[in-house]
Every structure is written in structure tokens, then in C-alpha cells.
Copies of this chain bind each other. A is one copy, B any other.
């Protein structure tokens, strides 16, 4: 089964961050199993409630107590549906996870230090221990994630952004991913590599929310609401950041900035509520564990309150901001460069693919070698963990002139910065430079990891560097009045941390996170100024780290339009739309359906009144059409046909004679065959030359082990055409069907569920799932088939295909989103991102003239931004530049649709309608 090839392919795809690859066949099967299970569960719930009712009428007064208990239980279960219970549970769960992960990481790091300390006698052994430990941990983490759930790799914020935009990345929210992410993250961070936990925690919180939602849907149906799920995921992102840093406000804001395009203010409270609760529990756990005396900030600072900074220090803060902006852009660029370099280098790539754990191991080896404390590490405070470095960097003493250090000795770790031979400035510079590229490199390792914390620490070090320089420059402070207020380099570190992390993530809310982390807000103005400057610089140079990853992974995402350059996007929908829309008409026959399904790979198809009038009636999902077609050509119908034929034959024969036994045997024969046909076919389709090659299926052991081939006997259904296409036993042995169940590789598995924003939930869960697979073994199938020969079947199918389609039980979206030709790119973008659309039809007076999807829009935006003036694709050729046209009124004239044009076009398109009616009459005969 060419399993190795598949495996290799899959690894190629998942090497960097784990691109979406789960094979559709496997997915379909799992989905079917899930639906079956759910049905069962729901039934059990209903039964339980029924038993309660029975009980009430059944027993006498003595059972009152029991009834009361049951009622309480019922009440509690009904309350479970409330949002706040869900949010509290989510917060509680995440706080526990965060605390446990932190605890485990601390133990891992302690173990490394202990090993390192124990082997002090032999430097080589010491080095071996120092290096082997993280290599083993990282390799385990990479391997474990790779095997269990490749989707757990990376930060998770880009995926969450995509999911919150309305795109379904199904496997990103499964229990497997959750386990892989938590364990992988713990190991990765336990290795002491410069990796962060924020991004993964956003993902973990979302996983938690999704799983909790699934779990709680056992008690009630509210959790099946999709818009509600999106709201809950948004809250979960806030919880993720909140419980990671014990920063509820910053968490909410950061998650909004990082994941949303448009934010519904009515969801605001959910995030705050859950994040606060989570942060509260997270810190309470620390108190309970006697780590802290009471609830305080994670990296508490003790800067003086009365005079935090002088007004004249502000230029220095501004410098930090601007430099951080450049640094942030450089970090994003470097990170992308490394990923792309490794991807492009075919030889490296091949090598790494085969030994896919080699890359993480090599990177870890390099990084840990350089940080080896007795080696180069001594010049860059290598023996400090990330947390220790941050604590020392935020220290409120001045390092440059050790003499006048303030009262209490903070932790003692600050000594690491003070190398006997090397100046503290050199140590800081080395730390910044080395950590910079190390972090950029380390975040490309395919393990669950984030980049926020490393960047935060680098920023703090840079701020400290500037602060120490300032302190050395102005030993007595800048203030001109009587009192001496020495400069506080720790304050600079706070500013630098916020600025650099803000620049990398393109967020302003890092400022708030910094305040919550340090527990002091006295430096608010410097921090805000630096963060805003850093953002201004970084945003004009590079996309944010998360957007960069989205581009690298080619996730279906809509790029933002640039700021204030709306005039530049002088493109209209008619320039970018695809004019050659594949559609079906109300009076089409099954052959047309078949051809259309073969030709295109769109998720939904337009339904027109007729190809003459082109009036858009609605849209139908591909799966619906496939179901229709398989219903028409499926075995049940063939059997029915056979039976009819047999009856007719019998009648004809009964006119002649009465051979009853023959009829009976035939029926038995049919029944047996029918039983065989009810198996669920799980084989993937073979690619035919006419199509794009499908990505080969990945057969994982767990999947292959299932008894797929064994026919499951079901109760015999009356042999009539099943009206419900999703439940009836289906077999798709038809030769015409075998090519239909392939999807566009680009959109494979990426269902956009918000496509139907304008409609009434036409797609039920059953219809959502891709239809059951077609068998490849067509000829095998024919052998065991009924009395028809292959030629007869082909003939029968031909006849069937000529029948007119009956759309009766088909779910139709009666109002797919429509635009007009003259809608501007800017407006299209706004509508797409506001409503989370995947595609929109372009109509002119109700007539379909084109379709524009996310892809076209993305191309248009990126094309017009990146390659200004260059026509990316032919339809874009009608770029209009309003700047060149003389008067300002010409623009508005352009925008107004002149009616006579409308009218002309209209007349040219309106053909007599009678044709249609007569046509359908003909067909129905």
C-alpha cells in the first residue's frame, strides 16, 4: 500500500509546525463512528430522563426522597448549560494544567541543575550531562508529538486565529492533540531551551474548551451551537494567556489582538471572567503550595513608587521602543528565513526527513553547547533558566556600580551576570545576541513551543542594557532639583520586554501583560510609548510572527489590508472574480450533476434557475450533490429496478405460467446481497489521470486495526428508495461515481463552516461529514452483484443519469452571500472578515456572473501590496488608479452604477421563461 511513501510525504508536511494532513478517508470513518456514538449517547440521556418521569408516577411517598435527589440532579444538569459554569470549569481546568506543567518544568530544570552540580569534578561528564539531558527531552518531545498528533507542533496561535476566523481545522481540537501538546510542551520547556509556553497554552486552552464543550454536550444540546463554540474558543484563548502569566486583563487583550479581526464586545466579559478565575486559581495553587504567602504577581518588582522615572529619561525609552521595533521585525524575518532555508535545501530536507528527529537534536545540541556554563555560557549567564534570567533582569538594583546596591539581596542569581573578567555590558550584549538567534532557531523545532517568553527575556535584557548604560552615564540620576533619584535599570528592562514582545507579536497589550507580571504600573507611560513605537516600526517592516507562520503554513487566512491605504486597493470584485462558475440548474439531469462534480472541486455549488436566466436560487454543498447522485445510482435503486423488472417479468410470466419457487429464491438471493452491501466502505479512491493526484492516505495502525472489511449485518430495510440519503445503507459501486469523491487538495479538510452565515443552518451534522468512501474495486464488486451484467449496469446507469434531478430532500442555502461587480476590494475584505465568509457569489440583478473566494481575495490583496503595479493574474488587469484621473468627481461617477448599463445588460440576459417551464415538463414525464 505504499505506506512508506505516504509516511514520508506526511513527514514532509508536518516537519514544520505540522501542517494539516489527516487523510480524508480516515477522517470520514472516524466521523461516522463519532456520529454513531453520539446517537447512542443521546439516546441514553433521553432514556435516563424518561426513567425519572416513570419513577415519579411509579412509586409512593416513600420514594419522595429519591425523586427529590433525582430532581436536584436534573436541575444541576440543566444548569450545566449556563455559560458561566462552563467558563469556571474551563478556568479551573486550565489553572490546574498550567500549574502542573509549571511544576513539571521546574522539576525537569532542577534535575538538570542537580546533574550538572553533581558532576562538578569532571567537566567533560558535566558537559555530556548538560547537553544530553535537553537533547533527550527535545527528541522525545518531537517524536512523541510527531507520533501522537503532529498538529500539536508549534505555537497554536496561528491555527487558533484561523479557526476563530471560521475555518475548521478539525484535528486541532482533539483529545490526542491535547495530550501531545501538554506532554510535548512540558518536555520541551523542561529541556531549558529558549522556548515559551504562552502560544501553546492558547492552543491548550482552546483544546480544553473544545473537549469540555463536547463533554458537556452530553447533558444538553446548547453546546452544539456553532457560534457559541466560537465564542467559547475566543474566551479560551484569553484563559490560555491569563493562566500562563496570571495576567487576566493582558490575557484577554492579547488574545483579542492576536486572534481576532473583528471583536464582538458582548463576548468581552466571557474572556475576563474565565481568565480572572483561571489566574486566581493559578495563583491560589502557588499559595497553597507555600510558594507564596499571598496572591501576588509572577515576577514582582519593587521599584520606588514616588518617583518612578524622570521626564528626561523618556528619550531613552523611545530609543528602546524604536530599536525593539527593528529587533522584532528582524526576529520574525530570521525565523521565517530559517524555516524557508531548511525547506528549500533539498538535500538537507531529504536527510532531515528520513531522520526526522535529527533536526531537533542538532539544534538542541548546538544551543545547549553554547550555553554550557563553564564554556561560552559563562559569558552570557548560561546557567540561569529563563525564569531566573527574567527575575534578575527585573531586579531593582543597578549592576553597573555594585557598591550602592539597595538593602535586601534579591535571589543571588544576579551574580551570574557579573563575570569576574568580563564587563556586565559585554555579558548583556552577548546574552542578547546569542539568545536572539537561538530563540529564532529553537522556535523552528517541531515541538509544541511558543516564542513569546524568549523574546520577552531578550527584550528585558536589552532594556537592562540601555538602563545600565544610562545609570553609568548619569550616576546621580537626571533630575535637576535637589533630591537625587538614581536611574532604575529594572524599569528599562520592563519597558524593553514589553516593547520587543509587542514588536514580534504586533500587539499593544504586552504593556498590560508586563504590568500584571511585575505587579507595578508605575512605568505605564514609558512602556506605552515604547510599545507603540516598536509596533509602528515592526508593523511597517514585517508581518507579525503569527501571520508569518500562517503564511509559512499556508493556512487559509485573509491578510489584513494596510493602514490608511484604502485608495490603493482600487480593485473591484469584477477584477478578481472567477467568471467561469460551475453551477447546476434546477432542471438539470443527473449527468450534469456528475459532470459538474467531476469538473470542479468547490465545496459548494451555485444553484441557478436555468442556464438561460442565470438567476441564482441558492447554493448546495458538494456532499449533498454527491449524496443525491449516489442515491440515484446506488444499489438500492438498482435493486428496486431489478425487482420492478422482475415483477413485470413475473406478471408477464404469470400470464403464461406460475413458477413460484423461482421468485422465492430470487428474493432470498437479494436479501443476502443486501446484507453484504451495508458495510461501510473505507477505502480511499484511486486517483485517475484526469484529476490532480490525491495525497496518499496515511494508514495509522490504530486506524488499520479496525475491522473495516467485515460486513455488519443490519436489519433488512424495505427495498424502496431511501429518502434519507444520510442514514440508508449506501453502496457506490457505480463506475461513474468513483471519481467524484475527491476534493481539492488545497482545501482538503478545511471546511469553512461560516460559509452559511446568511442562512438557516442548512447543514446538519450528518450532512457535514464527507460521504462514505467509494470502493476502488469496481470489478470485484460487479462480480458479487445482482443479476445484471456490467454492460447492463452501465446501460442502466446511463438511463439513470438522464433523469432530471429531484432536489426535494436536498438542503439548499437559499441566500448565499452576494456581492455586485462594483463592490470594492476594501469592502469585500471587510465583509469577508466580518462575516467570516469563504466565498461569495457575484450577481447582477439576481443573475450569477461570478464567484469570488478567499483565495482570489488573498491573491488580490497580496498582489496589490507586494507587487504593486504588476498584474498578478489576467482578471486583475483592470486596475484603476483614481489618482491619475483629473477631477475628484470622476471617482464618484465611476462608483455610481448607471442604470442604462444595468438595463442593457439586463435586457440582454432576460430570455423568455417559457422554455424553462416546458423543459421541466418534458423532463418530468
Contacts and interface: CB of A to CB of B under 8 A. Distances in A.
A261 B265 CA distance: 5
B528 A249 contact: yes
A819 B567 CA distance: 30
A764 B889 contact: yes
Contacts of A831: 757-758, 835
Contacts of A358: none
A560 interface: yes
A915 to B, nearest CB: 12
Interface in A872-912: 888-889, 892, 894-900, 902-903, 906-907, 910, 912
A553 interface: no
Nearest to A607: B899
Interface stretch (A343-351, A515-523, A634-642, A775-783): A515-523
A716 interface: no
A261 B262 contact: no
B808 A900 contact: yes
Contacts of A74: none
Contacts of A870: none
Contacts of A808: 898-900
Contacts of A300: 305
Nearest to A284: B311
A845 B897 CA distance: 22
A229 interface: no
A295 B897 contact: no
A615 B846 contact: yes
Interface stretch (A375-383, A487-495, A598-606, A822-830): A822-830
A685 to B, nearest CB: 28
Contacts of A227: 566
A537 to B, nearest CB: 12
Contacts of A262: 262-265, 834
Interface stretch (A55-63, A272-280, A667-675): A272-280
B845 A617 contact: yes
Interface string A505-526: 0001001100110011110110
Interface stretch (A206-214, A325-333, A810-818): A810-818
A532 to B, nearest CB: 5
A486 interface: no
A640 to B, nearest CB: 22
A845 B814 CA distance: 8
Contact of A762 (B42, B516, B896): B896
Contacts of A256: 265
A245 to B, nearest CB: 12
A843 B815 CA distance: 9
Contacts of A426: none
Contacts of A41: none
Interface in A817-855: 818-820, 822-824, 827, 831, 834-835, 843-846
A914 B907 CA distance: 11
Contact of A308 (B257, B261, B294, B609): B294
Given A272-B508, A279-B525, A895 B761 contact: yes
B815 A823 contact: yes
Contact of A913 (B248, B818, B823, B913): B913
A528 B536 CA distance: 31
A221 interface: yes
A521 B515 contact: yes
Contact of A276 (B525, B810, B913): B525
Interface string A254-289: 001100111111101100110010011001100100
A896 B811 contact: yes
B814 A529 contact: no
A759 interface: yes
A714 to B, nearest CB: 20
A917 interface: yes
Nearest to A481: B293
Interface string A12-54: 0000000000000000000000000000001000000000000
A233 to B, nearest CB: 15
A532 B287 CA distance: 23
A822 B760 CA distance: 7
A819 B815 contact: yes
Nearest to A274: B532
A307 B292 CA distance: 10
Contacts of A686: none
Nearest to A272: B508
Contacts of A912: 913-914
A264 B528 CA distance: 20
A410 interface: no
Given A524-B516, A762-B895, A287 B261 contact: no
A296 B529 contact: no
Given A280-B525, A808-B900, A760 B823 contact: yes
Contacts of A264: 261-263
Contacts of A302: 305-306
A424 B365 CA distance: 68
Interface string A190-226: 0000000000000000000000000000000110010
A477 to B, nearest CB: 11
Given A276-B529, A508-B268, A759 B310 contact: no
Given A261-B264, A913-B913, 17 more contacts: A228-B566, A248-B528, A266-B561, A280-B528, A294-B310, A295-B309, A295-B311, A296-B308, A297-B521, A586-B903, A615-B845, A618-B897, A758-B831, A808-B898, A808-B899, A810-B899, A814-B902
19 contacts: A221-B888, A257-B268, A261-B264, A262-B264, A263-B263, A266-B560, A266-B563, A268-B508, A294-B308, A295-B309, A302-B306, A618-B902, A761-B892, A808-B898, A808-B900, A811-B896, A815-B819, A834-B835, A912-B914
